[in-house]
Structure formats: structure tokens, C-alpha cells
Amino acid sequence: GQSLEQPSEVTAVEGAIVQINCTYQTSGFYGLSWYQQHDGGAPTFLSYNALDGLEETGRFSSFLSRSDSYGYLLLQELQMKDSASYFCAVRDTGGFKTIFGAGTRLFVKA
Amino acid sequence: DGGITQSPKYLFRKEGQNVTLSCEQNLNHDAMYWYRQDPGQGLRLIYYSQIVNDFQKGDIAEGYSVSREKKESFPLTVTSAQKNPTAFYLCASSLTGTYQPQHFGDGTRLSIL
């Protein structure tokens, strides 16, 4: 089977940097992706890592280590609007199903 | 603008009643998905379809049914067999390929009267 673990909640102050970790167990691996979801809204795609290393997109970066079955999402220069839930996700062995983690709720304080 | 439209935004179901949630996309995506989200939880896959006239069960398909008669449409029926249907339902679509991100609709919130 496949499973993902991420912290349930993280709190940080405006302007700071926060890292949200994700560890996974999969029978096959097709990359790790991250989605953001504001309360009551639709998840939106943030990033995808197929290979080891860091991917940077503006204030957001995502890292993957396949040997450690581990990845993280790094949010810099935090803004109040970044308060949301963040989900890591992997595709299953067949490549068509995406398995989501339970999500990390980020609270950004002034 | 292209996107995914889910309707209605809020839906109420009586005991023993089937209800159908609509999902339409104009992104020309082959793959479509239905997820269920409970408060404070992640997304659980109900059904997915990679191509018209074909669909597969996800992890929690019991009590649900779908159809894929058109590329643009992937309606979900919540049957009376689903004993705990109160949840937030999200529809998504994507291109097929090595990796393609999923694009989500705004969701339908289903409650039991």
C-alpha cells in the first residue's frame, strides 16, 4: 500500500520561513507533488518533484530525496494569505491514481 | 477561460434518496476524478476515469456511481447505500502522461436533512 505522513499543524509569523515535511511509503514512485487549499476552497497545484533536489517557484520551493522517501515544501517571506492547508501527494504504481496526505494546516500570525 | 465547474455548491439529501453531483470541464482533459473530503482530512479518491466510457473505482467507491459518456462530463451519484454521505466533494481533471497536475473544481458540500 501507499501512505504519506505530514504534520497536522504548523504555526509561523509573517515574514518568516516555514518548512512542511512529508514522508511517504510507496510500492512504486512517480514523483511528489504539493497542493494548497484555503478553507472551503479548491486545492490548487503548487509544485512537482520527480527527481532529487530543489525546485523553486517564487516564494515556494519543494525538495525531494528519493533515497529517504522524503520531501518538503518551503515557504519564504510568509504572508497572511499563505494560511491554508498544504497536501503532499504521490501517484500510485499504475500512474493514474494520486494519493494525498492528510494535510498540514499552516497558521500565519502577524 | 477554461476550468472545471461543479454544481450545485450546496446540496441536501433526504434519507433514502439518490443525488447527482455535476462536474463539467472545458480544459480538454482526458482524465477526471472524484474525491471526498471530510473536515480536517485529506482527499480520498472515489472514482476516476482516464477516457470516455471507462472508469475505475478508487479507494472508497462503495455507495457511489459515476458515468463518463462525454469527455467534458463526469457526474457522481451518491446513492442511498452510502450511509454517511455528508462531506465536501471535489471533482478534478488532468491531462494524461508522465505527470500532469490536477485541476480542481470549487466543490459541492453535501448534507443530510
pLDDT means over runs of 10, chain B (113 residues): 90 90 96 93 92 94 97 96 92 85 94 87
Angle at A72 between CA A16 and CA A103, to 5 degrees: 90
Q: Which residues of A touch B104 (CB under 8 A)?
A: 42-44
Task: Read off the pLDDT of residues A27-62 as tens digits, 9 standing for 90 and up.
Answer: 777 889 999 999 989 999 999 998 999 999 899 999
pLDDT value at A96 more than 80 = no
Supply the pLDDT for residue A79.
Answer: 97
Which residues of chain B are at the A interface, by a Cβ-Cβ cutoff of 8 Å?
31, 33, 35, 40-45, 48, 50, 56, 58, 88, 90, 92, 96, 98-99, 101-107
C-alpha A33/C-alpha B18 separation (Å) is 34
Of B56, B92, B101, the CB nearest to A48: B101
pLDDT value at A1 more than 70 = no
Supply the pLDDT for residue A97.
Answer: 79
Instruction: Provide the β-strand partners of residue A1.
Output: none
Supply the pLDDT for residue A93.
Answer: 65
- From residue A40, alpha-carbon distances to A59, A85, A106, B108 in Å are 24, 11, 15, 10
CB A87 within 8 A of CB A37: yes
Supply the pLDDT for residue A91.
Answer: 81
Whether B42 sits inside 8 A of A44 (CB atoms) is no
Exposed / middle / buried, residue B44 (Cβ in 10 Å: 0-12, 13-18, 19+): middle
- From residue A93, alpha-carbon distances to A27, B56, B58, B90, B98 in Å are 7, 15, 14, 23, 12
